Amino acid sequence: MRTATPLAQMLLAQTSVEFRLLLRRGESILVTLVVPPALLVFFGAVVPLPSHAESGRPVDVLLPGVLALAVMSTAMVSLGISAAFERHYGVLKRLGGTPLPRSVLLAAKMLSVLAIEVLQVVLLLAIALLLGWRPAGEALLAGAALLLGTAAFGGIGLWMAGSWRAEAALAGANALYLLLLLLGGIFVPVSSLPGPLAAVASLLPSAALADVLRYALLPGAAAPNLFPALAVLVAWAILTPLLAALTFRWE
């Protein structure tokens, strides 16, 4: 049996460290594993939003947006803020003095985010099942959309963490999170926004991710908006990690 290469070993070891660190941060747990499920329960059972026309279940409308919110919370907010303060306190500078390449560090951080998101998706789907959701649509497309969304938002988070001051990254990540939550197509489809605002929102990664997830998960969802949304999501998933890799600094 062939042994793993040194780079692969470093990647696995650093991913394990990053995953444990994310789980130890109380604010990370709040943003990633408390807020999205709480929103799903609140708007799905306590104060139900209008139900999906095909199924009659509010959870069918909510689930795609909450999944998009979960990705945004973990890959942009949690990762961006934690990495920014690691850089501020000199943790990344010390790592820079080790044989660990910058590319391996960034990959490990992204993989740790994916591991957290697996927990999020399992938790959210379990809650959705209790609220009456039944699997429908295209699971592979939904999975691909979540991976692309992770790359897009992870790139934004690492770009802020690697090139902004820690306080600026903290404020920027939270401000962008709120802006995308309200105007980024998470819970309100872009088609429901006023014309000029809808045109801008359609180019945002949150709207693209939510639209693809709605198509993939909602029974009877219309197809015309799928390909533009998918193209926008792919573009963000390529450009933001590249930007992060080019601008990320150890200190």
DSSP string, 64-102: HHHHHHHHHIIIIIIHHHHHHHHHHTTHHHHHHTSS--H
Tell me the pTM.
0.89
Residues 112-132 have pLDDT tens digits of: 999 999 999 999 999 999 988
DSSP string, 96-111: HTSS--HHHHHHHHHH
Average pLDDT over the chain reads 86
Residues 157-180 have pLDDT tens digits of: 999 999 999 999 999 999 999 999
Looking at per-residue pLDDT, the higher value among 57 and 241 belongs to 241
